[in-house]
Structure 1
Amino acid sequence: MKPPPFTYHAPRDLREALDLLAEVDGKVLAGGQSLIPLLNMRLAAPAHVVDVNRLPGLSGIEAGPGGVTVGALARQAEVARAGVHPLLGQALRLVAHPVIRNRGTVVGSLVHADPAAELPAVLAVLGGSVRLARRAPGGSSGPAAGRGGSPSPGAVPGGSPGPVVREVAADAFFAGPLESAAEPGELAVSAFFPALPPRSGSAFEELARRHGDYALAGVCAVVTLDEDLHVAAARVACVGVGPVPVVADVSEACGRRPAATVPWEAVVAAVRRAVEPEDDIHASAAYRLHLVGVLAERALREAAARAAAPP
């Protein structure tokens, strides 16, 4: 399989990359683990491909009290090894195979917005965000930036305007299957994953036909306990059962009980009501609905147990 013809660009800094993206109709190449298969199968035929791998300052992984910022060029394997966020680590071990994670980027997976992928669900359940940059109107862009090694917005020598930077929350970022809020001319420069609250635990459960395949269904969960170790909050995000990650707040269904006495059947029923899976060649809607319930119970139980475990 060979990709359709395109013009290849390899900008050396963010200014040049944003100028290119403002002027051409093209796709961004970072890890390429989603883009290259689409090109080879002729499912995408951009006139231009803009390779951002040479851009400095976009590969940072920065952890702070509030959460983790992952730069656009941080590889999935690097983020997993860094151990900067428990739910990120739990999700990344399920992403494809090591050879894919060695090249694939966390931010690239978010922008690709596959509803069956793990990382969009993590961003969604945590209430994270993606930072997007574009060339300022009427001029070329300067060093752009933000948290976690992304460049910071502002003027450049000579008075040129800096790039326009906006931050899009997860609930607005995923617009549909393979469709994100990133607009033509914009480059995703980083993603922010909020830290888990104190006394919180997380878990990610999924089922795939073969290891490394996209999941038939998957669920990630975050459970937070209060000082008396009663469930104060519980959220899940489901993959493979809707056009975007489906987030359900099931705190009320947990009833602020000790984790060991939570009526998981009622909680699982609330999760099932939140999803609308469809039939396809891999599984029926009914089977996916069943899987969501089974996986949600496993993930919630495991997250609650981790939250209750001694530090």
Structure 2
Amino acid sequence: MKPAPFAYARAKSVDHAIDLLGSSGGEARLLAGGQSLMASLNMRLSHPSLLIDINGIGALSGIAAAKDRVAIGAMTRHAQAEASPEIAKHVPLIARAMPHIAHPAIRNRGTIGGSVAFADPAAELPACMMALDAEFTIKGPKGERNVKAGDFFKGLFETAIGPQDILTGISVPAATASRRTGFGELTRRHGDYAIVGLAASGEAKGKGYDKLRLVYFGVGATPVRATKAEAALSEGDIDGAAKAVAGDIDPPDDIQASGATRRHLAGVLLKRVAAQLAEARS
């Protein structure tokens, strides 16, 4: 199939893009990497009247580590993050996740901001951002605001980004000496969306963890924090955490797997990710 007809505009700046969004009456879409958008256009699942290309806005791209935070521009490509020494050193969870995202050709064009803004519940980066307690910077007609990851993902493909807003950047805490991270996913084939996945981040404390965040993806309409499993694993109880996951998630049945299968795999995955966290101690 081919997309429905649409107009095209190339934004010269963030403010210009916001003005273009405002002039469209809510019928415009932003073109960043386009890896999800082009497919939805071709299948006519999306039919905007105007496509606003933001690839020329250089200020939206880049990675910068400063003090205890790392700033990631919304237009930063997956491949840039994957190859970045700053990401490898200061945000190891994202470094762990990057090779799991689709395939190199997609990572070359896909953007960090595009992935989190699309908010696919089976995608890796939204869960990573939740696990890291990231903060998103959004700019719109009324100015700029910052939104925590826990408040950013609202529902299936729904975020705190308004119809005239642009996600401009993401800020995540830089890793500390005690920070431990883990990541895993189960897919039918490498590069497929996850049947179930898990991103984990916490501070080592005794035999357990402090400020532990276990965030599943592929099990609900948004990334899902497993708070009961967090409580058990924080005390070093891996088996208890794996059992507790069943009370944290309520995955749906679909063509890939039943909810019961996903619930079982979530426990299996928790043990694997817990082993990653433990390896980092030694």
Same fold, TM-score > 0.5, yes or no: yes
1:69–1:193 contact (8 Å) kept in structure 2: yes
Residue 194 of structure 2 corresponds to: 215
Q: Is the aligned partner of 1:205 residue 2:184? A: yes
Equivalent position SS for 1:301: helix
Q: Which has the larger radius of gyration?
A: 1
Q: Does 1:118 align with 2:124?
A: yes
Report the Cα distance in structure 1 between the residues aligned to 2:129 and 2:150, rounded to whole angstroms.
9
Inter-CA distance 280–182: structure 2 relative to 1 (3 Å threshold): same
Letter in 1 for 2:47: A
> Structure 2: which amino acid aligns with 1:21?
L
Q: How many pairs align?
A: 275
2:226 aligned to which of 243, 248, 251: 248
1:9-88 map, 5 Å: 9-24=9-24, 25-83=27-85, 84=87, 85-88=91-94
Matched position secondary structure for 2:226: strand
Tell me which residue corresponds to 2:255.
Answer: 281
1:237 corresponds to 2:212 = no
CA contact (8 A) 1:201 1:305 kept: no
Residue range with higher mean Cα deviation, 207-216 or 193-202: 193-202
- 8 A contact 1:200–1:304 mirrored in 2: no
User: Can you list the C-alpha shifts for 1:169-203, whole angstroms capped at 9, x where unaligned?
Assistant: 11111111111110010011011122234312111
Partner amino acid, structure 1, of 2:147: V
User: How many Å apart are 1:207 and its aligned residue?
Assistant: 0.8
Question: Retained in 1: the 8 A contact 2:245–2:263?
Answer: no
Distance 1:88 1:35, change over 3 A: same
Contact preservation (8 Å) 2:208, 2:233: no
1:136-158 deviation per Cα after TM superposition (whole angstroms, max 9, x unaligned): 4xxxxxxxxxxxxxxxxxxxxxx
Distance 1:251 1:214, change over 3 A: closer
Q: Contact between 1:182 and 1:188, CA under 8 Å: does it hold in 2?
A: yes
- Read off the aligned partner of 2:39 and give its amino acid letter: P
Residue aligning to 2:99: 93
Equivalent pair of 1:53/1:73 in contact (CA under 8 Å): yes
1:125-136 aligned within 5 A = 125-136=131-142
The residue number in structure 2 matching 1:296 is 270
Offset at 1:168? 1.0
Show the counterpart of 1:152.
Answer: none
User: In structure 2, what is the equivalent of residue 149 of structure 1?
Assistant: none
SS at match of 2:128: helix
Cα pair distance change 1:59/1:255, threshold 3 Å: closer
SS at match of 2:254: coil
What is the distance in 1 between the residues matched to 2:66 and 2:269? 31
**Rounded Cα–Cα distance in structure 2 between residues aligned with 1:176 and 1:86:** 27
Report how far residue 53 of structure 1 moved: 0.5
Q: Give the partner amino acid of 1:243.
A: A
The alignment's TM-score, normalised by the length of structure 2, stands at 0.93
Please tell me the root mean square deviation across aligned C-alpha atoms, in Å: 1.5
Task: Give the gaps of 5 or more residues in structure 1.
Answer: 137-163, 257-261
Give yes or no for contact 1:221–1:236 (8 Å, CA) kept in 2.
yes
SS in 1 for 2:139: strand
Q: Secondary structure at the match of 1:57?
A: helix
* Deviations 1:184-237, CA, capped at 9 Å, x for gaps: 1001101112223431211111011111000100011123213x4543343210
| Secondary structure of 1:93's aligned partner | helix
**CA deviations over 1:88-107 (Å, ceiling 9, x no partner):** 11111100000000000001
Unmatched runs of 5 consecutive residues or more in structure 2: none
CA contact (8 A) 1:22 1:134 kept: no
